[in-house]
Amino acid sequence: MPESFPVLVIGAGPVGLALAGDLGWRGIRCLLIEQSDGSIYQPRMDLVGVRTMEFCRRWGIVPWVEASPYPRDYPQDNIYLTGLNGYELGRERFPSMNDARPPETSPQKRERCPQNMFDPILKRFASSQASVEIRYHTRLVSFVQDADGVTAEIENVNSGERSTVRAKYLAGADGARSAVREALGIKMVGKPVLTHTTNVIFRCPHLVSLHDKGKGYRHIFVGPEGTWSTMVAINGADQWRFSIVGGPEQQDLTMDQIRAAIRRAVGVDFEYEILTVVPWIRRELVAERLGDGRVFILGDAAHVMSPTGGFGMNTGIQDAVDLSWKLTAMLEGWGGPELLPSYDVERRPVGARNVAEASRNLQRMLSPGHNPALLDPTPEGEATRKRVGAEFSEAMSHEWHTLGIHLGYRYDDSPVVWSDGTPVPDGNPHVYKPTARPGARAPHAWLKDGRSTLDLFGRGFTLLGFGADAAEAASFIHVAKERGVPMNFVRLEEPEVAKLYERKFVLVRPDGHVAWRDDEMPARPGDVIDVIRGAVRATSVQAAGEKRLAANAS
């Protein structure tokens, strides 16, 4: 008999770990397999966005992130310069993690926690869930699905031993070259090559003492030919990730060329050790579908974007949270046939939006173009540096302020969201305007008892009643219970929060998005509950309701 699990997750990168952890947190058994030993050869992500930190808050792991070894007193300035010993063109100042405060619209702030520190935190979280099993050195070989489940062949990469796993659902968080996506025949749409870039991590504990620019997080080097490299303080101490941006054509750099580029950026000869070199291709791609039947893809398997903005992993973790509660609903028996298809409807447009914004950020980063006088020690050179610095600072500020991307993503067209017909809000990637319109992330507000509204949401649905009695919500909750939908009622006497949420009753999903709201309880609670659990399509129920109203009126 093959081993059997409700969910098989492929790939223990940050997204697979988040999915397994969230499933475990919801009490769902799953097996997570990872072909490698889980160690990070070269950390890629280092920005944990504010929404991901809100998930970490829900999972109870914020203190783990705050305790990660990234120094919390390290300033986060972004500096635009011709060289560490050259001209400073501009600077966007950002405080250290110790000094930064959450935005008004969230109980959390974004964190700097590179992948070699964040993956182990997610691994610890996932492993601490009793229902999660993680197997490293284990790869997916193939799978087939049928009406009742998925049969996968997996292999221990050390021994070569193969075995069969049967699962109800399979989730491919297996990265940009996803074998799961390939097996499903899903194409990636977009631009397969934006740049051929080379990332080099070098160690130099005394780098800051070699120049006068002080400590900074990201350095963007601009020469007369335009933006040519960047350098980030990857661990805030002795390691630096130097990135030679390149162009659309293949670049195969020799070690001498890499060393010459580092010398050019720093401006003096100095001692350092190259730890890793990774050539990679920057892409702009979104999968044409996020799954097929009982098999789903998420994270980089579903969207591959330029790192400019730090959206990739954060978008993937949102995928994981969206998919997790829907799989839970199906496995617990209260999810209907529209629920899993809504994963694609909800998440694919968000992936596409973030991929596009990441590419716009790349264009901003490359915007200085050719400025032959940039390095001239003349009044003309000075005027060029002033102009380039001002224009670049303005352009780059868009990349640093992206709350609209992190908090403002909405599921307006979802078949499992009951629209209230209010106008669709603007989707500015830079500005987040809180809204409790169905489909949006339920907004944060501090409650009198010191909790955030977000602390009320999570495992099941939460029906908020502003100044409402439990009796008023009783039949709604009763109908939900009848259908097996986990739901609890929370009465709030908080006028400011009521103003923010705009309706007397607001129903929030297990992922923290608003499913439905109104000033009155629905005459037919089952209609709403059947839509939000995916038993019927919102449009068909609403059309039937309108017909009924018309019939009653005539």
Identify the helix (H) or strand (E) that includes residue 464. Answer: strand 461-466
Nearer to ligand FAD, 32 or 485 (CB): 32
Residue from 9, 10, 53, 201 touching ligand FAD (CB under 6 A): that is 10
**Span between the terminal Cα atoms of the chain, in Å:** 63
- DSSP SS3 for 48: strand
**Rounded to the nearest whole angstrom, what is the least distance from the CB of residue 110 to ligand FAD in the complex?**
10
Nearer to ligand FAD, 122 or 541 (CB): 122
* 189/455 Cα distance (integer angstroms): 38
Length of the chain: 554
Please list, in sequence order, all residues whose beta carbon lies within 8 angstroms of the beta carbon of residue 122, skipping any fewer than 6 positions away: 14, 17, 18, 21
* Pairing, β 303-304 against β 273-287: antiparallel
Q: Is 312 in the site for ligand FAD (CB under 6 A)?
A: yes
Q: Is 165 in the site for ligand FAD (CB under 6 A)?
A: no
Q: Is 310 in the site for ligand FAD (CB under 6 A)?
A: yes
Q: Mark residue 136 as left, alpha or beta (left: phi above 0; alpha: psi -120 to 50; beta: remaining).
A: beta
Residue from 88, 92, 300, 511 touching ligand FAD (CB under 6 A): that is 300
Nearer to ligand FAD, 129 or 315 (CB): 315
Q: Is 314 in the site for ligand FAD (CB under 6 A)?
A: yes
According to DSSP, the residues that pair with 156 across neighbouring strands are 138
Q: If binding means CB under 6 A, how many residues of this protein chain bind ligand FAD? A: 32
Q: Is 21 in the site for ligand FAD (CB under 6 A)?
A: no
* 383/379 Cα distance (integer angstroms): 6
Nearer to ligand FAD, 16 or 335 (CB): 16
**Dihedral, CA of residue 487, residue 491, residue 496 and residue 502, to nearest 10:** 50
- The footprint of ligand FAD on residues 123-152 (CB under 6 A) is 139-140
Q: Is 316 in the site for ligand FAD (CB under 6 A)?
A: yes
Residue from 107, 175, 236, 336 touching ligand FAD (CB under 6 A): that is 175
- The footprint of ligand FAD on residues 191-210 (CB under 6 A) is 199
Residue 513 has phi, psi (to 5 degrees) of -100, 150
Residue from 221, 311, 392, 466 touching ligand FAD (CB under 6 A): that is 311
Q: Is 14 in the site for ligand FAD (CB under 6 A)?
A: yes
- The footprint of ligand FAD on residues 34-53 (CB under 6 A) is 34-36, 44-47
Q: Is 11 in the site for ligand FAD (CB under 6 A)?
A: yes
Q: Is 438 in the site for ligand FAD (CB under 6 A)?
A: no
* 416/346 Cα distance (integer angstroms): 9
> Where do the DSSP E strands lie in 208-330?
218-223, 226-233, 239-244, 273-287, 291-292, 295-297, 303-304
* 447/547 Cα distance (integer angstroms): 41
Nearer to ligand FAD, 115 or 453 (CB): 115
Residue from 22, 77, 92, 174 touching ligand FAD (CB under 6 A): that is 174
Q: Is 429 in the site for ligand FAD (CB under 6 A)?
A: no
Contact residues for ligand FAD, defined by CB under 6 A = 10-16, 33-36, 44-47, 139-140, 173-175, 179, 199, 280, 299-300, 307, 310-314, 316
